[in-house]
Amino acid sequence: MKTDALIEHLSQFHPKGYDLSLGRISELLAKLGNPQKHLPPVFHVAGTNGKGSVIANLRAILEAGNYSVHAHTSPHLVDYHERYRIGHDKNEGVAKSRLVSDDMLAEALGRVADANDGDRITVFELLAATMFVLFSEQPADYSIVEVGLGGRFDGTNVIDKPLVSIITTISLDHQAHLGNTIGEIAFEKAGIIKPGCAVIIGNQPDEVREVLENIANEKKCPMMIAGQDFDYYEEAGRFIYQDVDGLLDLPLPNLRGEHQLANSATAIAATRLANCGIDEFAYENAMRGIYWPGRFEQLKPGKITSGFAEEMEIWIDGGHNVGAGEAISFELKSLNDARPKNLIVICAMLNTKNPQQYFAQFAALKPRIFTVPITTSEHGIPAQDLVRFARDAGMEATACEHLDVALFQAGEINGDSRLLIAGSLYLVGEVLKKNGTLPE
């Protein structure tokens, strides 16, 4: 694709990682006419866990309400185009967004690179600037923008007046960039809170909620806090949401896991605080239609699944920190309570994560672990090193030279088994590509 070739070319001159600063991207955007000032009203989303799921909920809700929506997420699973969804023209009779075309993305990225003219910058900042160009030039009712890393100095944080700033659950992650305590990380995430602009605070530890609430109050922001201003629960197989404006009795969201109730509730609260005028019928349709690949979902039939016995359940999840491990282990326990099976885990992780704490979340399930390298990033933990973390957490573990070997060995295990492929979005992307079931 044109875009892949262009990004590969740009990567030879600019680093792919993060160099947190607003100066470089601000200068570049000024050369481009400050497109960030001309976006449709923005929902700006930061946090450690659940950002993508909240965005998937937001998009589903707004589109069910017949609004046209742009959405930016990162990273992608298989292809850079996944990061940019462009809202359809409602004159075509449908509000659903579509992934940006290769021609449109390559043309916009080319203009951004030309404007930068070789100046020092990161690839992420070039991609973020491309998002601002695309979203400012295509009509839509709303934009949803995911923070890449942190908040205060993230390349997306040049949005002066978001419609709503949303901060999902915060836990320890990216300490090298954001701080060593959960309070320090919360302060960085709170950088997206802007004076007088509405704020949604999702489920948080007390220390985090206090930091976020204090900053929002100092900036005189209208605010809704999970557990205080809105609540939610499952009852009789239904999803109940409640706030000061009333109660919604909805289908369970089309994303598996108790933690997804929190993500759906956070998105609902954001649309209600923003007075988007969504009716209960639209919320119902949205819950049934939410789609967000690679987040604790059962792998669809494809090349990988065809190599296993029919009774083998294969699940994938890109969560890669302690909070994600805790949520997924809870869901696996629920599955096991309903139908006991041996648990097999194929895992890969980046060297910015804490593997031993992640593995510790699964200890009670006594899984058999196979570790594999990440083939699409130079920052992966070698499989031989990762296996030591699993063993230190008390689990039986084997290092495999690549994914195919791990899949073969998992298939050789006798007994009724459940397979989880997890620990990295890079690994999930590789699995989806190999399976032939790409994100849509």
The tens digit of pLDDT for each residue in 83-92 reads: 999 998 666 5
- 5 to each of 11, 30, 79, 168, 237, how far by Cα in Å? 10, 26, 12, 34, 48
Last residue within a domain, chosen from 264, 289, 314: 289
| 374 assigned to some structural domain | yes
The number of distinct structural domains making up the chain is 2
What is the average per-residue pLDDT within 202-228? 96
- pTM score over 0.75: yes
Torsion angle of the four alpha carbons 306, 310, 312, 318, in this order, in degrees rounded to the nearest 10: 40
Instruction: Note whether 340 and 192 are same-domain residues.
Output: no
pLDDT-based confidence at 93, cuts 50/70/90?
low
CA distance 58 to 266: 9
430 neighbors 423 (Cβ within 8 angstroms): no
DSSP string covering 305-373: GGGS-TT-EEEEE---SHHHHHHHHHHHHHHHHHS--EEEEEE--BTTS-HHHHHHTTGGG--EEEE--
Mean pLDDT of the chain: 92
Instruction: Note whether 192 and 302 are same-domain residues.
Output: no
| 440 assigned to some structural domain | no
Domain range for 133 is 2-289
Last residue within a domain, chosen from 289, 312, 332: 289
If you compute the radius of gyration of the chain from its CA atoms, what whole number of angstroms results?
A: 21
What is the average per-residue pLDDT within 200-208? 94
Give 71's Cβ-side CA count (13 Å radius). Answer: 29
What is the average per-residue pLDDT within 22-46? 97
Give the domain CATH number at 356.
3.90.190.20
Instruction: Note whether 263 and 304 are same-domain residues.
Output: no
| Eight-state DSSP code of residue 304 | T
pLDDT-based confidence at 177, cuts 50/70/90?
low
The 10s digit of each residue's pLDDT in 305-328 is: 999 988 899 999 988 778 788 889
Instruction: Note whether 262 and 325 are same-domain residues.
Output: no
Instruction: Note whether 326 and 381 are same-domain residues.
Output: yes
What is the average per-residue pLDDT within 286-294? 93
What is the average per-residue pLDDT within 11-19? 79
Q: Please report, as a single letter, which amino acid is at residue 153.
A: F
Structure tokens at 152: 């205060």
Instruction: Note whether 233 and 167 are same-domain residues.
Output: yes
Structure tokens at 254: 């089309």
Instruction: Note whether 285 and 338 are same-domain residues.
Output: no
Instruction: Note whether 305 and 198 are same-domain residues.
Output: no
Instruction: Note whether 276 and 310 are same-domain residues.
Output: no
Question: Which pLDDT score is estimated for 159?
Answer: 97
Q: How many residues does the chain have?
A: 440
Instruction: Note whether 221 and 84 are same-domain residues.
Output: yes
Q: Is the sign of the CA dihedral 168, 171, 173, 177 positive or negative?
A: positive
Give the three-class secondary structure for 217.
helix
| 324 assigned to some structural domain | yes
The 10s digit of each residue's pLDDT in 127-137 is: 999 999 999 99
Instruction: Note whether 276 and 335 are same-domain residues.
Output: no
Last residue within a domain, chosen from 227, 259, 289: 289
| 424 assigned to some structural domain | yes
